[in-house]
């Protein structure tokens, strides 16, 4: 099997798995208990917080553990809304559904939402943000990198416009963290969402960075965990695994980026050499994230035939699988329909090889020439 869907999820790193093991077996103490048996768990939890904070240039007390990207996004958006005078969220047309569907739910509660347009490369318009932001705006939320096409957004610029208006800025960095350098101090963001399973950590764990002083309501009421903002007994093993995976991703990032860029070029060159008519979507993409739109082809047919050949890729985005309608991202980017419906996303990981890239390209060529 060739797995080339790392933007959907990644394999748990073995070292991260080994770091988790003691907390699944012997060190099962509740990190909130005061007796000495729980001390190892408590220490591991706080060490994980420090490691994660270091990886993104934050303070440990600004890292809040959550169950993943969806929860972090829900918290950042829902926790910011209030019925006081500022009651509008600005986001973009190409966000993940864990942002877009919160916005839809907010609309039902009569909050205003505005969706910033993107250009044909999927870059969010800073000019549109400047024009739309007002004294009603409570929060601006724009993703750091798009999951379908990989475009990395101009977060620093968008954040600086937002702050000029005295508004809080959140970014969904689920696809970016561990893959490209992310420093919250440089970017100046107020909140940032991340999910461990996108960087070889375990599933069902993530974090929300909340800059000190950022107003945000609690996500879950109950015990006093996570400074009383997100109650619930901590999943120490998963948190330890997440920290180990993130540290390893950051420590090896430059090598991984070089390797992934090489694989991308290999795949694209082979498709071009075979005179295949396609568009690569996006610009300034995440390393290894390749959204390909083939003219007059069907993405679903391609996905299933590749699956039959033992190759896992995604149909535009994993969350949209099975849905042959043009994705909201490609629609916002105005990708011509004759290309858009023939879109697949190949997302390489550091364990993929040049041979994998060749096999995938050759398989695509064979399928398209056969149809």
**Residue 180 three-state SS:** coil
| Element at 132 (helix H, strand E) | helix 126-132
Q: Does 171 bind ligand PLP (CB under 6 A)?
A: no
What is the footprint of ligand PLP within residues 50-89 (CB under 6 A)?
A: 68-70, 73
Pick between residue 128 and residue 318 the one whose CB is nearest to ligand PLP: 318
Binding segment for ligand PLP (CB under 6 A), chosen from 19-27, 172-180, 270-278, 290-298, is 172-180
Please tell me whether residue 202 binds ligand PLP under the rule CB under 6 A.
no
**Known catalytic membership, residue 319:** yes
Q: Which of 143, 155, 267, 313 lies at the binding interface for ligand PLP (CB under 6 A)?
A: 143
Using the minimum distance from each CB to ligand PLP, give the nearer residue, 79 or 206: 206
Tokens 């007994």 belong to 233
Q: How far apart are CA 332 and CA 327, in angstroms?
A: 9
Strands 191-195, 206-210: pairing is antiparallel
Nearer to ligand PLP, 98 or 162 (CB): 98
Residues 99-124 as b or e (16 or more Cβ within 10 Å = b)? bbebbeebeeeebebbbbebeeebbb
Asked whether position 327 contacts ligand PLP by CB under 6 A, the answer is no
Q: Which residue is nearest to ligand PLP (CB)?
A: 69
Residue 73: CB minimum distance to ligand PLP, A: 6
| Closer CB to ligand PLP, 98 or 225, in the complex | 98
Residue-by-residue DSSP string for 104-120:
HHHHHTT-EEEEE-B-T
User: The sheet that has 191-195: what strands, in order across it?
Assistant: 63-66, 206-210, 191-195, 168-172, 137-141, 88-92, 112-116
- 288 near ligand PLP, judged by CB under 6 A: no
Q: Tell me which residues touch ligand PLP (CB under 6 A).
A: 68-70, 73, 96, 98, 143, 147, 172, 174-175, 195, 206, 319
- Just list the catalytic residues: 319
């Amino acid at each position: 099997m060739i797995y080339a869907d790392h933007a959907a999820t990644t394999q748990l790193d073995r070292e991260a798995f080994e770091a988790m093991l003691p907390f699944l077996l012997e060190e099962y103490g509740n990190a909130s208990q005061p007796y000495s048996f729980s001390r190892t768990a408590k220490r591991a939890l706080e060490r994980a917080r420090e490691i994660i904070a270091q990886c993104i240039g934050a303070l440990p007390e600004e890292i809040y553990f959550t169950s993943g990207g969806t929860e972090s996004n829900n918290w950042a958006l829902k926790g910011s809304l209030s019925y006081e005078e500022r009651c509008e969220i600005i986001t973009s047309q190409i966000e993940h559904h864990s942002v877009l569907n919160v916005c839809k739910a907010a609309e039902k509660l009569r909050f205003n939402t505005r969706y910033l347009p993107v250009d044909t490369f999927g870059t969010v318009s800073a000019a549109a943000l400047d024009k739309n932001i007002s004294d009603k705006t409570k929060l601006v939320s724009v993703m750091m990198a798009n999951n379908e096409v990989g475009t990395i957004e101009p977060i620093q610029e968008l954040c600086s416009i937002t702050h000029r208006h005295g508004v809080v800025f959140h970014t969904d960095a689920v696809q970016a963290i561990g893959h490209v350098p992310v420093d919250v101090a440089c970017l100046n963001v107020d909140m940032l969402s991340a999910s461990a399973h996108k960087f070889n950590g375990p599933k069902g764990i993530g974090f929300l960075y909340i800059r000190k002083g950022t107003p945000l309501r609690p996500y879950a009421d109950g015990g006093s965990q996570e400074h009383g903002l997100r109650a619930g007994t901590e999943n120490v093993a998963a948190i330890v695994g997440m920290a180990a995976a993130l540290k390893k991703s950051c420590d090896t990032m430059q090598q991984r980026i070089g390797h992934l860029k090489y694989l991308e070029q290999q795949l694209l060159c082979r498709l071009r050499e075979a005179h295949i008519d396609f568009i690569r979507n996006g610009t300034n993409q995440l390393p290894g994230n390749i959204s390909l739109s083939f003219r007059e082809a069907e993405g679903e047919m391609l996905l299933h035939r590749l699956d039959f050949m033992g190759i896992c890729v995604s149909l535009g985005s994993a969350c949209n699988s099975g849905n042959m309608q043009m994705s909201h991202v490609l629609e916002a980017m105005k990708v011509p329909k004759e290309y858009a419906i023939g879109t697949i996303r190949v997302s390489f990981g550091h364990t993929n090889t040049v041979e994998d890239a060749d096999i995938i390209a050759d398989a695509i060529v064979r399928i398209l020439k056969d149809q």
